[in-house]
Amino acid sequence: MRHYDRVYAYAARRTGRSESEDIAAEVFVTAFKIRHRYNASHPNCLAWLLGIARNTVGDRLRATKRRDRIYLRLQGDTTPLMSEEADGRLLAASLSKPLNDALRKLSTNDREAFLLYAVDQLTYSEIAVTLGVPQGTVGSRITRARRKIGQVIPNLQQISGRMGDDMEAGGA
């Protein structure tokens, strides 16, 4: 399945690894059942699948009364994206607590839009499809999230920018 890894990573960041495999499987079963609802005019189905994943994760969290735990888990083994570079893991470890604290302070809508953009690397239009909101709303939510995160971690851009410069210098 072409998008399984992305759906799995999405679920893992929101619920942890223990449930992410089941959630990812459930997303594809649901997608197959409701395939007639897919709008074929979209360039690919990832945003649609992540919308199903979002609903599946929400259902799972409500059922287990863990709604307050919807936040990015920045443990080195939770997301394959973080395991690619040691420098990235070190940066994530140093920012884990402040970033999680900042993410918890965001509204659910702002946090979800921000994570879809920053972590899942979706475009604004893909996020709009995933969340079922206009593209302008996506932009507003991401801007608001960035501003609030910047208030909690004022030097985040400097730290992440400097780390990116270090990685580029090391690779040259």
Does 80 fall in a domain? no
Read off the CATH number of the domain in which 57 is found: 1.10.1740
Range of the domain at 155: 85-172
Percent of the chain at pLDDT > 90 equals 34
> Would you say the pTM of this structure is higher than 0.85?
no
Same domain as 93, residue 44: no
| Domain count within the chain | 2
Higher model confidence: residue 88 or residue 96? 96
Same domain as 95, residue 153: yes
Each residue of 5-35: pLDDT tens digit?
Answer: 999 998 988 888 888 899 999 999 999 999 8
Each residue of 148-157: pLDDT tens digit?
Answer: 988 888 776 6
Same domain as 91, residue 64: no
Does 154 fall in a domain? yes
Same domain as 171, residue 144: yes
Mean pLDDT calculated for residue range 73-85: 45
Residues near 76 by beta carbon (within 8 Å), at least 6 away in sequence: 82, 83, 89, 92, 93
Same domain as 111, residue 54: no
Does 75 fall in a domain? no
Contact 138, 123 (CB under 8 A): no
DSSP 125-161: HHHHHHHTS-HHHHHHHHHHHHHHHHHHSTTHHHHHH
Does 76 fall in a domain? no
Same domain as 15, residue 39: yes
